[in-house]
Structure 1
């Protein structure tokens, strides 16, 4: 049995986060007898899911980056207070599909919202809550977008921003991972999903052992 751990998955569109979160959740429950709470950003709670719909549907120019960051922060705060913190306090493993690194990249590094604004919003929202581990599923944007557009999905606002935007997203994530090596695990997401999963659990196992 292990104590609570907070794991975030990050990556560009079509990187396979949903699949890997499901596989990791099943593995933790099976191998470590741990409870797992899954959530996502934007979203996770009833109110945050309403905000999600505003952000991920419609025309790609619907919001500017500052407005997106404000909406993301409102969603994140609700998710944090209602889902993430209570689950961690109960000893669950919390696995989230995106957290504040997404805002740092999409709205900050790529979108142009200032680092000062992003940091201020995080300070206001997060209560110093940071993932213990961030798994970055790194993939060539062209391959990721081809995967994403094959899926039946109406949440295409960010996919529609074009290849150059997503190349900048990838570069932004790798920049963050380089700046925070103590919590980022960069995983090659171009491979078979089982190979990716095996890579993740091999690298995550020592972290979980240290918390058991």
Structure 2
């Protein structure tokens, strides 16, 4: 099963993914975790370019293509081989991030982006997407106070992050069979328990 965690910046995905993976391993599943952009040597190099505050002049079209390039390498080198071995793949972000950030955030055509994403991923989409929902202001405040690196994407205007969050809400509503929304404003442990419950139920099916 291919499971992705999506959400606005500061929603807590990166903090939740490893505890969720460890829980599934304790239940006897073979699990691998990865992240976007990144997950391979090539993809991590692209990540550095995308995140660097030195690249604030990057055009959104360049941003889209770099994300897709990193994703294509990750799919071929990590995700597909793991799925072929019967493993559960947990990914911190995936193709839906491009629809939310570059589609809703920057205003690029969603149908065009879906075609591009299908090319980059070989048509691979998640079996389950866990959407950690938090309003843009709360998420950005978490990022600022969390001690992590403030990157080029974090630095976009608040209005951009609000469009991203609304985009996620719309994407989740469009595919309720794949997306499950979790209130990420709750305490971290409560969110983790909810994620475990959702994934366990889906695996039983």
1:36-78 CA deviation, whole Å, 9 max, x = no partner? 1111111100000000011112157422221111001100000
SS in structure 2 of the partner of residue 177 of structure 1: helix
1-structure distance, mates of 2:30, 2:128: 17
1:119 is aligned to 2:114:
yes
Cα offset, 1:155, TM superposition: 4.6
Return the TM-score normalized by structure 1.
0.92
Alignment of 1:29-108 (within 5 A): 29-31=25-27, 33-59=28-54, 61-108=56-103
RMSD: 1.3
**1:8 and 2:4 aligned:** yes
Relative to the length of structure 2, the TM-score reads: 0.95
| 150-159 or 105-114, which deviates more | 150-159
**1:22 matched residue in structure 2:** 18
Counterpart contact for 2:130–2:180, Cα < 8 Å:
yes
CA contact (8 A) 1:57 1:155 kept: no
Count of residues in Structure 1 that have an aligned counterpart in Structure 2: 205
Structure 1 position 208 matched with structure 2 position 203: yes
Q: Which sections of structure 1, spanning at least 5 residues, go unmatched?
A: none
Choose which of 92, 116, 133 in structure 2 pairs with 1:138: 133
Cα deviation digits, residues 113-140 of structure 1 (max 9, x gap): 2224312211211222110100010001
Q: Is the 8 A contact 2:144 2:150 kept in 1?
A: no
The 2-side partners of 1:37 and 1:89 are apart by 12
